Amino acid sequence: MGKRETPCAPVAVPAGLAEAVRDYRWARDGVGESGGAVYRLSGRRDAPDLFLKHGEGAVADEIVAEMVRLRWLAAHLPVPKLVAFAATPDAAWLLTTALPGETAWQLLDRAPEQRGAVVDALARFLRRLHAIPVAACPFDAGHAHRMHLARARIDAGSVDEDDFDDARAGWSADQVWEALAAHLPLAVDPVVTHGDFSLDNLLVQDGEVMGCIDLGRVGIADRYQDLAILANGLGEFDAALVARMLAAYGIAAPDEVKTTFHLLLDELF
């Protein structure tokens, strides 16, 4: 069990999910909950580990969005298998299989000698994602759409200003918004993006990325939506890893304006 998981008692689920979660050990996952609850279910004999996401209100809407994108992306990339889904007007539950391996963050932290190979694998997987034909993707995740959502989050007081990166520590959400606006207009190079291509959302085993999780933001956007977030995470380990990732992806000179813009935008989610 990951060190960022806390054992807990089983929680109540809709009747349609009860059999699927029976006889599992439960643990609350503290990574990337984004206002909802995420549980790892393990230890059921002859059955795979599962993840259950549950949320109410706006979080429920995000879980519905993830379910729809999960079903679509499964035809193009390795993603968790959808086991069950349930929704009411106010809440949603998403039950999926757990992907094999450990997160890229865990592996980079645990095995520094493997960092180069891990970065190369991440770049290969990102190229594969960005090669999906844009015409095949029904979801808009472009910066104009996301800025509309971000403005609504600011106005609702939903932005966690205490969680900003060190570069923006002490900023208000409105200061981030003003900095975003200063980077517009933005020339867009659209691809199918993950939307939160972070080290915690990529599972690695035997030198390859086994798949990606947390798919609620999948959609067409500029490729730097993913590149900026991945580079930001790698930079926390070693700046040389960022340069290696960009070279492996195929970028000789990164667009610093787009990188900054997408990191600013990510602060508001």
Fold: same for 5-97 and 102-267: no
Single pTM value for the model: 0.94
- C-alpha angle 223-52-45 in degrees, rounded to nearest 5: 120
- The pLDDT value given to residue 4: 74
Angle between helices 224-235 and 256-267 (to 10 degrees): 80
3-state SS, one letter per residue, for the chain: CCCCEEEECCCCCCHHHHHHHCCCEEEEECCCCCCCEEEEEECCCCCCCEEEEEEECHHHHHHHHHHHHHHHHCCCCCCCCEEEEEECCCEEEEEEECCCCEEHHHHHHHCHHHHHHHHHHHHHHHHHHHCCCHHHCCCECCHHHHHHHHHHHHHCCCCCHHHCCHHHCCCCHHHHHHHHHHCCCCCCCEEEECCCCCHHHEEEECCEEEEECCCCCCEEEECHHHHHHHHHHHHCCCHHHHHHHHHHHCCCCCCHHHHHHHHHHHHCC
Query: From the candidates 160, 189, 196, 222, which is the catalytic residue?
Result: 196
- The pLDDT value given to residue 1: 40
Q: Taking the domains of the chain in order of start, what are their residue ranges?
A: 5-97, 102-267
Is 196 assigned a catalytic role?
A: yes
How far is C-alpha 135 from the chain's CA centre? 22
Give me the CATH code for the 5-97 domain, please. Answer: 3.30.200.20
- Split the chain (269 residues) into runs of 10 and give each run's mean pLDDT: 77 95 93 77 95 94 97 97 96 97 97 98 98 98 97 96 95 98 96 98 97 97 98 98 98 97 97
Q: Under CATH, what is the fold of the domain 102-267?
A: Aminoglycoside 3'-phosphotransferase; Chain: A, domain 2 (3.90.1200)
